[in-house]
Chain A
Amino acid sequence: MSIAGFERPTLGKIIIDGVDCTTLPPNKRNIGMVFQHYTLFPHLSVADNVAFPLKMRGISRSERRRQAEAALETVRLAGYGDRMPKQLSGGQQQRVALARAIVYRPRVLLMDEPLSALDKNLREEMQLEIKRLHSELGLTVVFVTHDQGEALTMADRIAILKAGKLQQVSPARELYERPSNLFAAGFIGEMNMLPVEWDGQRARLVQGEEIVLPDQAAITPVTPGPAVLAVRPERLSYARAGTAGTWAATVRDVVYAGAGTLLITSLGDGTEVRLRIPSAGQEPVSPGDAIGLTCPPEAMLLYPQEGA
């Protein structure tokens, strides 16, 4: 809402394409915006909705008509111009809103949780649609979402915000594999977080095992002392209890889900560790079994303890 100009930021500047927009009102920013709940003008036809921004820019009626029809074609709604918004489905309405936001070729397209009102199938279809438009039109899209999967699949770069502060801005892969702090690590996807004692070279679990970590495990320098070892559930595997180099754990629950299985285990101190493993080709385990957990060294990340 700050980028669009509806709220004044308390601090910092908003610069779009080299122009400082911090104090510009929304109507002077030339930004395309798609809202959460379509926000089509109910008393105007679809074509008039799409042509509205052109009207505001003083473009002639016939030219408006032509450009609006072209924009509707882009969102695959050619020929729907004479209908009223209420006569369209939710997905179609959101596509009209999209057409309205791109019809005047804005510098930036802002989308504020545009798909959260749609059901799952429609949402996936619209995700592809927006990606297609993005590459076709070549404009910058700022896409706000609470859906982590949506963020990973759609974005070239993802920014994580917490209480108005940027936590991390990076490509999806980097964000998932090397999140810059514990909040980012826990925000996207699942993450096991194990309390450890760090001595500068080795991390010691509460129950005693010592793990030698490679240098790149720490994303920011970690001072010796209490720290957190983070591992994605799909990077862990298990072996027979007592195997050298494994961490002793007890199986608490086995959740079979077709292709994959979720294993919920706990370490000696009660810390829960989740494993996501392929269902096939595994030695079966059941709740109560003692096993040993293993993890490739490059999959382990070390963070300073939160609040430390």
Chain B
Amino acid sequence: MNARSLLLNAYVYAVLIFILLPIIIILPMSVSESNYLAFPPEGFTLRWFEDYFGDRRWMEATWFSIRIATLTAIATAVIGTMATYALVRGAGRMGTLFQTLLIGPIVVPHIALAVALYLFFQNTGLSGTTLGYVMAHSLIAMPFTVFTVAAALSSIDPALEDAAMSCGASRFTAFRLITLPMILPNVVSGGLFAFIISFDEPVIAFFLAGIRDKTLPRMMFDDIEQNLTPVIPAIAVLLTLLSIAVLIGAGMLKRMADRRGAGG
């Protein structure tokens, strides 16, 4: 190893530490005995985790978030797959427009989207409803699902479906039995990403929240305004662990898909 690659390695690690540091810091903060956010932490306690799991309000918010995120994941996976199929397999001249509309939410600031949705949902009675949340979250999660599914779909020879049809399968059966099993790992990991995006989405939740039903990130903001106890870093730790679990899950799915593609 020469000096240059040594320097490069050091640089890479420095960047990684810079990125990871805030995440690492919340861990000691979440077990600190003090009643406010403190670093370095004082003592060790799991009290804040107990507070979180024991508080009805936190739990309600968590279950509400899980419900929204699950429905968002399913909606995004189904609609995203259908949309991607249309995009990859011939949307024709409308394709570009369609694609721009689908992935638009990536470039539109969430705050702008949130304001627009707020006004729209106020007038249609969707504000604060599960359906409203799922629609809004699907909108922002859709681009990620589309990208994930498109990556798999564009690597599949369209002639495979032709072959299935020449074997007697209808167009839908050809998709269901041939294309879908091949892209399924990507569809599922697209859904997992959608779950995570929905689960810790704060901006839209801020605008759409009713008085009763609040998502977990929304509850956290409320708590930060009023109390700012180490429950917040405790939840942050749990959210981080969830994200890591989902990433590992998506990675395993990808490995599975690759192995299958290589014919193992």
Chain A residues with a Cβ under 8 A of chain B: 4-6, 25-27, 29-33, 35-37, 39, 41-43, 52-53, 56-57, 84-87, 97, 100-101, 104, 110
Contact = CB atoms under 8 A, between A and B. Distances in A.
Nearest to A86: B263
Prevailing SS type, chain B contact patch: helix
Nearest to A26: B165
Interface in B140-184: 157, 159-160, 162-171, 173, 177-178, 181-182
Interface in B38-97: none
B109 interface: no
Given A27-B168, A37-B157, A42 B162 contact: no
A104 B169 CA distance: 13
A31 B166 contact: yes
A101 to B, nearest CB: 8
Of B162, B163, B167, the most chain A CB neighbours within 10 A belong to: B167
Given A25-B165, A27-B169, A33-B166, A42 B159 contact: no
Interface of B: 157, 159-160, 162-171, 173, 177-178, 181-182, 260-264
Contacts of A32: 166
Contacts of B168: 27, 30, 53, 56-57, 104
24 contacts: A25-B171, A26-B162, A26-B165, A26-B166, A27-B168, A27-B170, A30-B168, A31-B166, A33-B163, A35-B162, A35-B163, A36-B159, A39-B159, A41-B163, A42-B263, A43-B260, A52-B169, A53-B168, A56-B169, A56-B173, A57-B168, A84-B264, A86-B263, A110-B166
Given A26-B162, A43-B182, A100 B167 contact: yes
A220 B165 CA distance: 43
Contacts of B263: 42, 84-87
